[in-house]
């Protein structure tokens, strides 16, 4: 069997690949560099001369060849590698007629715990959404408690309002539901030093990404100074080498690789093993629909240090869309898939653009003085 075609398509802010073989099998994948899908698409085109005619089973070899073809690095490159890697694992599972988790060492759990991403802002909206999620069977929810105008607030007001919103959710769901606090890289290190302990008093499962991701050392330093609050980092990191630096500097108790960005299954399983050696857990980042959810679930099923899987309302909305999963959510859990490969059917004939993020790149928060709020 050899690779006969590498199909790459952009649908809005979504980018998919399909790897075709001489045996008629097709493996599917998706990248997660949602800000620049056309750039990822261009990189996949440069991969074709290497992949056409190649043996699709040589997954590890192809990963290193594609990643080292040029002396460059970054999220666009690793996103392209991720999409191809997922497609090759999908192919291997389909050829052997087993789900991918079976190829990763077998099943270590019977179902996959989910935490629901809450899209609301403000105490009232988030508390109502959290209550609805718990009523639907979720045992964990994730949300951003920062005020919409966080960039223009005094430090005292920023801390007070953020803590009050978190408390409203905690009061609503009680102590039996885990809270995952997403700060979306919006704070300066000095702001984080007071905001993180304030929300930490509400006993969240984790607090994620308080500061910008430009520096691994800065992220690690903020996490080290979090005074016992469990911290999560890594949704925008790309490689085991970045995760190694983060963990070695004491920067996370939860690592957050995205399988569409951090090298696919081949690389994310190495990140999971690296985290395990530091007694750190894996909560993979995931917000771009069913294909990447199903890829993440394959890893979740086979690793011991998994805690909970990120789940977006998009997964329910798009369950009958272009990427159709073989399993559906049951309350706050997903069944372990048993279909061969990733367990996803991808229809690339549907040319309807997808809007997976709901935000054009040009629309970012500005402070009252006109400066970019994300700049520090």
DSSP-assigned letters across all residues of 61-118: HHHHHHHTSSS--SHHHHHHHHHHHHHHHHHHHHHHTSBHHHHTT--S-SEEEEEEEP
Query: Quick check: is 285 catalytic?
Result: yes
Query: Which entry of 184, 238, 267, 279 is annotated as an active-site residue?
Result: 184
Largest CA distance in the chain: 64
Class of residue 215 by CB neighbours under 10 A (exposed 0-12, middle 13-18, buried 19+): exposed
Nearest CA to 233 among 252, 215, 249? 252
Residue 61 CA neighbour count, 13 Å, CB half:
7
Q: Can you tell me whether residue 165 is helix, strand or coil?
A: helix
Query: Quick check: is 267 catalytic?
Result: no
Asked if 172 contacts 164 with a C-beta cutoff of 8 angstroms, the reply is no
Strands 344-346 and 323-325: antiparallel
Query: Which entry of 15, 41, 238, 285 is annotated as an active-site residue?
Result: 285
CA-to-CA distance for 155 and 150, rounded, in angstroms? Answer: 9
**H/E segment holding residue 54:** none
Asked if 191 contacts 148 with a C-beta cutoff of 8 angstroms, the reply is no
CA-to-CA distance for 203 and 167, rounded, in angstroms? Answer: 10
Point out the residues that are catalytic: 184, 285
């Amino acid at each position: 069997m050899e690779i006969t075609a590498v199909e790459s398509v952009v649908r809005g802010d979504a980018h998919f690949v399909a790897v075709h073989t001489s045996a008629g099998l097709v493996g599917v994948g998706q990248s997660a560099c949602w800000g620049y899908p056309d750039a990822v698409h261009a990189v996949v085109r440069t991969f074709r001369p290497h992949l056409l005619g190649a043996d699709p089973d040589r997954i590890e070899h192809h990963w290193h060849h594609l990643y080292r073809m040029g002396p460059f690095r970054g999220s666009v490159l690793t996103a392209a590698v991720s999409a191809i890697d997922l497609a090759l694992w999908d192919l291997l599972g389909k050829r052997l007629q087993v789900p991918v988790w079976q190829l990763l060492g077998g099943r270590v759990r019977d179902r996959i715990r989910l935490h629901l991403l809450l899209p609301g802002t403000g105490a009232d909206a988030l508390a109502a959404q959290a209550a609805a999620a718990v009523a639907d069977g979720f045992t964990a929810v994730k949300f951003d408690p920062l005020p919409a105008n966080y960039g223009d607030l005094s430090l005292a007001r920023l801390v007070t309002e953020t803590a009050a919103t978190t408390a409203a959710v905690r009061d609503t769901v009680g102590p039996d539901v885990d809270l995952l606090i997403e700060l979306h890289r919006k704070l300066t290190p000095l702001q984080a030093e007071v905001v993180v302990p304030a929300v930490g008093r509400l006993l969240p499962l984790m607090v994620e990404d308080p500061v910008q991701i430009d520096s691994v050392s800065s992220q690690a330093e903020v996490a080290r100074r979090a005074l016992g609050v469990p911290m999560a980092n890594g949704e925008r990191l790309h490689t085991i080498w970045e995760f190694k630096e983060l963990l070695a500097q004491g920067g996370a108790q939860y690592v957050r690789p995205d399988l569409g960005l951090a090298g696919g299954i081949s690389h994310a399983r190495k990140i999971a093993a690296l985290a395990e050696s530091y007694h750190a857990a894996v909560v993979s980042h995931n917000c771009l629909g069913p294909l990447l959810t199903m890829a993440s679930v394959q890893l979740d099923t086979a690793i011991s240090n998994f805690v909970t899987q990120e789940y977006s309302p998009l997964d329910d909305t798009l369950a009958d869309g272009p990427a159709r999963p073989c399993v559906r959510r049951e309350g706050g859990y997903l069944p372990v898939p048993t279909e061969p490969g990733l367990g996803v059917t991808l229809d690339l004939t549907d040319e309807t653009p997808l809007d997976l993020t709901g935000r054009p790149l040009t629309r970012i928060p500005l402070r009252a003085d006109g400066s970019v709020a994300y700049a520090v």
